[in-house]
């Protein structure tokens, strides 16, 4: 098109000819004509009369011609006298997101940025952001960013707002995220615009300014102009952790409450945000509790949220909650009754009133159990009523709760044995949860009133196919037959106090969410990266864990792998086992049982140098009740104490500075997930440590802490604490290398420390990993052969049955066993928490200590980790 010959033709009939050529049937001709038109336009001739003919040519698959047409359009429309059309052109062209077109966009955009009309400017400003998305380099080269910066000073508020929008959009993907220097001059300009622009513009500006907290004071009056989203945008901007913040929050309370009389959707957004605010500053909204009372026609999502907040503000709401217990929606009623229970736990004087509520008996009983745990020996008068209700219960939760109560208060219930007996009749039809509780209750009863219970004790559990149940009854039998006194001590021991607050958001997450107030993150109560795609729009404001991954990489990977290899069979941790035996949920944020500190670690750390990782130190925690050791060898007890691994993460070891805390991480199987406890051994730090919090990076299996790290007391120098942290696998998923790598960070008042370790895969094996015989065969056929991997397990001396039972305990199930030519073949299946099935074939030749393991799986990358598990299980 730059061909010079097109510029030389200069005849009077030209337009006429061009018209004919543009309508020519031949593509080539049309293209030629297009070039001529553009050339004519370029030299300044008026070819606007050709408009319809040129537009006609747009229907082509010839890219070159198409471009010419676009060029023509932009040129003419961008010079249209009507600013609306000029703006329309630049807006529409920005939407044609084809890389090749952008070069044609540049020139008209330049023109528009220098247009005389504010409407065109404000459209062009957004267009710069669009262009940046397609071709960032071009925006830089053309100096469009400077034009945007110039717009900040414009007198038209909308131009300013759109320029701000464009800048913040660009800064998200720009290497220099601070595109606009927020000096006092710029801030003043923004504030001026803020006073005049539309509600949307106000949000754009407030959202952009969130870092510039100095402007707060000047913006406060804005609350009186504002719409809901402006109020929430404003919240985001408040300086954190200061008296001023508190004062402002107080000022904010009324507008927030006003939002609650708005449309239900905005109510919901507001409530979700208030939910966060009351967790850090409950006093802000204490006075406003009536605003959260549920209205009959509120949508269910608003009702549930309101209830949640009321619990947090609690105390004067009991009567109100009682009303809700008669509502229609089942979820809502259950939650209401639970709420009553939570109130009772929180506010002592209300407990009495609570225990009288028996609207929804099933849920209520579960709640009453919690009340009993909080205030033992106080409200036993309710027991009689309870016992009267036994027959009507059909929910396992409620039945288990009742049984627990009966067992717990056995000495005060005259006919406790009869009651329990009545449950025993249908013992085999009960759910496991009820069976376990019943077992414990009977033992309690026996210990309290031995004379009456003799006939109940020979339990029928021996034939149960549930291993938990068998194991537990076995332990009890051993305990009772060897040393009833100790048994009493263990079974009837003091229970840890139940905690007050439930469903609290983990502090680090809360901090992060507070920074995101008003945004979607605050609605989902999830960090933005949990639902926002990759790089887009992630502003991590706290605990930058993804940087941590590189830091954590410092810890030698080789050693951590070694740790994994030495990983022995994992059994419930001691605290867990105890809790399980007593039907207590120790994993809730109560004070975790204090395991003695591990001075060993300190010695090792000094001896082995800071970098060395000490692996595979297995020993028995000294706090395991001594009674367990002598009990005559049930497998579950002897392997109960866990092997502990320790490694220092090697972070923060600045020469001459303080020594970083050393973490000891202990993986253990829980009912559904994995449990890791950590120890901090503090060597030379001069300060005490407080405010601990833990966070995990996204990982392959979605492992995240299900409760915050429960370290409530400051950690003094040379002191160590054992904490167990319940985990679950519902977190965000990202594939890691190696697959079982888990990166985490621990924060305290001093700093953030990063570390990573490997999850032994066996903790992720789920209980229902047993495949049907037929399914196994079909699946095995279904998986392509290239997915099959073979491994050698060396130096093993077991027979097939031992192996099979060994694996059974680890949720690896033997589907079939065959004997082929003297070799034993074991076919096994297992399932991971994320639903991946693994099929295994283990070949055992008599006399040969090396077993051959073939693994088949749809995701062959997991196979080698499975092999590691096999290796460690067989070696143990």
Partner 1 sequence: MIGGLFIYNHKGEVLISRVYRDDIGSQAADSAVFSSSGPFLGERLGGVVRRNAVDAFRVNVIHARQQVRSPVTNIARTSFFHVKRSNIWLAAVTKQNVNAAMVFEFLYKMCDVMAAYFGKISEENIKNNFVLIYELLDEILDFGYPQNSETGALKTFITQQGIKSQTKEEQSQITSQVTGQIGWRREGIKYRRNELFLDVLESVNLLMSPQGQVLSAHVSGRVVMKSYLSGMPECKFGMNDKIVIEKQGKGTADETSKSGKQSIAIDDCTFHQCVRLSKFDSERSISFIPPDGEFELMRYRTTKDIILPFRVIPLVREVGRTKLEVKVVIKSNFKPSLLAQKIEVRIPTPLNTSGVQVICMKGKAKYKASENAIVWKIKRMAGMKESQISAEIELLPTNDKKKWARPPISMNFEVPFAPSGLKVRYLKVFEPKLNYSDHDVIKWVRYIGRSGIYETRC
Write out the binding residues for partner 1, residues 229-268 only, by CB under 8 A. 229, 231-233, 254-255, 257-259, 261, 263-266, 268
Binding mask 268-307 for partner 1 (x = CB under 8 A): xxx-------------------xx-x-xxx-xxx--x---
Which of 196, 452, 471, 483 is in the footprint of partner 1 by CB under 8 A? 196
Stretch that binds partner 1, among 216-224, 375-383, 669-677, 863-871 (CB under 8 A): 216-224
By CB under 8 A, residue 859 contacts partner 1: yes
Stretch that binds partner 1, among 3-11, 39-47, 116-124, 819-827 (CB under 8 A): 116-124
Stretch that binds partner 1, among 44-52, 66-74, 527-535, 606-614 (CB under 8 A): 527-535
Neighbouring-strand partners of residue 380: none
By CB under 8 A, residue 520 contacts partner 1: yes
Which of 1, 15, 110, 118 is in the footprint of partner 1 by CB under 8 A? 118
Q: What is the closest distance, in whole angstroms, from the C-beta atom of residue 176 to partner 1 in the complex?
A: 21
Stretch that binds partner 1, among 10-18, 781-789, 814-822, 834-842 (CB under 8 A): 834-842
By CB under 8 A, residue 735 contacts partner 1: yes
d(CA 188, CA 184): 6
The dihedral sign for the CA sequence 346, 352, 356, 361: positive
d(CA 79, CA 85): 9
Residues in 536-595 that interact with partner 1 by CB under 8 A: 536-539
Lookup: tokens for 376: 């033992």
CB-based contacts of 259-264 (< 8 A; 24+ apart in sequence): 259/228, 259/231, 260/291, 260/292, 262/228, 264/298, 264/299, 264/301, 264/302
CB-side neighbour CA atoms (13 Å) of 772 = 3
d(CA 8, CA 380): 106
By CB under 8 A, residue 327 contacts partner 1: yes
Q: What is the closest distance, in whole angstroms, from the C-beta atom of residue 836 to partner 1 in the complex?
A: 7
Lookup: tokens for 552: 């954590």
Nearest to partner 1 of 268, 755 (CB atom): 268
Which of 4, 44, 328, 607 is in the footprint of partner 1 by CB under 8 A? 328
Contact call for residues 726 and 631 (beta carbons, < 8 A): no
The dihedral sign for the CA sequence 441, 446, 451, 454: positive
Q: What is the closest distance, in whole angstroms, from the C-beta atom of residue 227 to partner 1 in the complex?
A: 6
Lookup: tokens for 594: 């204090």
Nearest to partner 1 of 69, 160 (CB atom): 160
Which of 102, 142, 228, 679 is in the footprint of partner 1 by CB under 8 A? 228
Q: What is the closest distance, in whole angstroms, from the C-beta atom of residue 531 to partner 1 in the complex?
A: 5
d(CA 740, CA 721): 27
Residues in 699-718 that interact with partner 1 by CB under 8 A: 700-702
By CB under 8 A, residue 528 contacts partner 1: yes
Q: What is the closest distance, in whole angstroms, from the C-beta atom of residue 800 to partner 1 in the complex?
A: 31
d(CA 146, CA 87): 20
Nearest to partner 1 of 263, 489 (CB atom): 263
d(CA 517, CA 22): 57
Which residue is it, tokens 């392959």?
700
Neighbouring-strand partners of residue 741: 758
Nearest to partner 1 of 323, 411 (CB atom): 323
Three-class SS of 192-255: HHHHHCCHHHHHHHHHHHHHCHHHHHHHHHHHHCCCHHHHHHHHHHCCCCCHHHHHHHHHHHHH
Which of 171, 186, 227, 499 is in the footprint of partner 1 by CB under 8 A? 227
d(CA 161, CA 194): 8
Which of 126, 136, 179, 180 is in the footprint of partner 1 by CB under 8 A? 126
Other beta carbons less than 10 A from residue 837's beta carbon: 18
Which of 54, 57, 112, 159 is in the footprint of partner 1 by CB under 8 A? 159
Stretch that binds partner 1, among 58-66, 660-668, 752-760, 831-839 (CB under 8 A): 831-839
Determine the Cα angle at 279 with ends 276 and 282, to 5°: 115
Nearest to partner 1 of 530, 636 (CB atom): 530
Buried b (16+ CB within 10 A) or exposed e, 439-477: bbbbbbbbbbeeebbeebeebebeebeeebbbbbbbbbb
Stretch that binds partner 1, among 158-166, 350-358, 577-585, 803-811 (CB under 8 A): 158-166
By CB under 8 A, residue 101 contacts partner 1: no
d(CA 789, CA 783): 12
Q: What is the closest distance, in whole angstroms, from the C-beta atom of residue 133 to partner 1 in the complex?
A: 8
By CB under 8 A, residue 733 contacts partner 1: yes
Binding mask 487-516 for partner 1 (x = CB under 8 A): -----------------------------x
Q: What is the closest distance, in whole angstroms, from the C-beta atom of residue 778 to partner 1 in the complex?
A: 19
Nearest to partner 1 of 221, 608 (CB atom): 221
Contact call for residues 696 and 743 (beta carbons, < 8 A): yes
């Amino acid at each position: 098109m730059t061909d010079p010959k097109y510029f030389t033709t200069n005849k009077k009939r030209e337009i006429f000819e061009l018209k004919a050529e543009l309508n020519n049937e031949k593509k080539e001709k049309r293209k030629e004509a297009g070039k001529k038109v553009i050339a004519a336009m370029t030299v300044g001739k008026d070819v606007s009369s050709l408009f319809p003919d040129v537009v006609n040519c747009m229907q082509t698959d010839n890219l070159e011609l198409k471009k010419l047409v676009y060029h023509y359009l932009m040129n003419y429309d961008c010079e249209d006298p009507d600013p609306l059309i000029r703006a329309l052109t630049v807006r529409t062209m920005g939407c044609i997101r084809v890389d090749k077109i952008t070069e044609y966009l540049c020139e008209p955009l330049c023109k528009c940025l220098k247009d005389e009309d504010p409407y065109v400017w404000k459209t062009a400003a957004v267009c710069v952001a669009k262009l940046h998305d397609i071709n960032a380099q071009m925006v830089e080269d053309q100096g469009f960013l400077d034009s945007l910066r110039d717009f900040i000073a414009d007198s038209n508020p909308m131009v300013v707002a759109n320029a701000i929008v464009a800048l913040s959009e660009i800064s998200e993907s720009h290497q220099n995220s601070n595109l606009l220097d927020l000096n006092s001059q710029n801030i003043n300009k923004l504030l001026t615009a803020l006073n005049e622009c539309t509600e949307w513009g106000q949000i754009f500006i407030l959202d952009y300014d969130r870092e510039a907290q100095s402007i707060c004071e000047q913006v406060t009056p804005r609350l009186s102009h504002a719409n809901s989203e402006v109020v929430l945008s404003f919240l985001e901007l408040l300086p954190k952790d200061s008296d001023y913040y508190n004062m402002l929050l107080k000022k904010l309370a009324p507008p927030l409450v006003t939002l609650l009389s708005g449309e239900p959707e905005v109510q919901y957004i507001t409530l979700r945000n208030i939910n966060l605010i009351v967790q850090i500053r409950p006093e802000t909204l204490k006075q406003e509790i009536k605003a959260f009372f549920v209205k009959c026609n509120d949508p269910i999502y608003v009702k549930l949220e309101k209830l949640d907040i009321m619990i947090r503000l609690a105390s004067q709401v009991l009567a109100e909650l009682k009303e809700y217990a008669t509502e229609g929606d089942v979820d809502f009623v259950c939650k209401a009754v639970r709420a009553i229970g939570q109130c009772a736990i929180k506010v002592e004087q209300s407990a009495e009133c609570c225990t009288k509520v028996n609207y929804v008996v099933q849920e209520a009983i579960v709640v009453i159990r919690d009340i009993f745990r909080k205030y033992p020996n106080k409200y036993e008068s309710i027991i009689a009523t309870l016992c009267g209700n036994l027959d009507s219960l059909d929910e396992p939760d409620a039945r288990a709760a009742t049984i627990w109560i009966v067992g717990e208060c056995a000495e005060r219930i005259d006919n406790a044995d009869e009651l329990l007996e009545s449950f025993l009749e249908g013992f085999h039809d009960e759910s496991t949860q009820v069976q376990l509780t019943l077992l414990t209750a009977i033992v309690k009863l026996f210990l309290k009133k031995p004379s009456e219970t003799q006939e109940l004790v020979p339990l029928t559990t021996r034939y149960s196919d549930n291993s938990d149940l068998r194991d537990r009854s076995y332990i009890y039998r051993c305990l009772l037959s060897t040393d009833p006194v100790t048994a009493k001590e263990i079974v009837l021991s003091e229970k840890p106090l139940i905690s007050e607050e439930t469903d609290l958001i983990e502090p680090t997450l809360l901090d992060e969410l507070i920074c995101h107030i008003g945004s979607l993150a605050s609605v989902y109560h999830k960090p933005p990266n949990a639902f926002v795609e990759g790089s887009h729009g992630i502003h991590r404001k706290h605990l930058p864990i993804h940087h941590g991954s590189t830091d954590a990489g410092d810890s030698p990977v080789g050693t951590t792998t070694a740790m994994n290899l030495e990983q022995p069979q994992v059994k419930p941790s001691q605290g867990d086992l105890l809790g399980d035996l007593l039907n207590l949920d120790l994993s809730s944020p109560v004070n975790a049982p204090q395991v003695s500190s591990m001075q060993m670690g300190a010695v090792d750390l000094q001896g082995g140098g800071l970098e060395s990782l000490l692996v595979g130190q297995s020993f028995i925690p000294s706090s395991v009740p001594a009674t367990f050791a002598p009990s005559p060898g049930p497998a579950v007890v002897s392997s109960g104490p866990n092997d502990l691994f320790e490694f220092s993460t090697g972070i923060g070891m600045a020469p001459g500075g303080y020594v970083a805390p050393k973490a000891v991480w202990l993986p253990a199987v829980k009912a559904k997930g994995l449990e890791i406890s950590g120890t901090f051994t503090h060597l030379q730090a001069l300060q005490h440590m407080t405010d601990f919090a833990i966070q995990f990076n996204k990982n392959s299996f979605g492992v995240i802490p299900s409760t915050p790290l429960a370290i409530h007391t400051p950690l003094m120098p040379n002191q160590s604490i054992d904490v167990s942290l319940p985990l679950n696998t519902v977190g965000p998923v990202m594939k890691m290398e190696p697959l079982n790598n888990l990166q985490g960070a621990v924060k305290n008042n001093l700093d953030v420390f990063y570390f990573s370790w490997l999850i032994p895969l066996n903790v992720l094996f789920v209980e229902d990993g047993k495949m049907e015989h037929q399914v196994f065969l079909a699946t095995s056929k279904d998986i392509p052969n290239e997915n099959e991997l073979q491994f050698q397990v060396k130096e093993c001396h077991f027979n097939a049955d031992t192996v099979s039972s060994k694996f059974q305990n680890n949720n690896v199930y033997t589907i079939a066993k065959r004997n082929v030519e003297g070799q034993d073949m074991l076919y096994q299946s297992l399932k991971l928490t994320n639903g991946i099935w693994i099929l295994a074939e283990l070949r055992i030749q008599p006399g040969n200590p090396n077993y051959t393991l073939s693994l088949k799986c749809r995701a062959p990358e997991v196979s080698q980790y499975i092999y590691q598990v096999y290796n460690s299980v067989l070696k143990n």
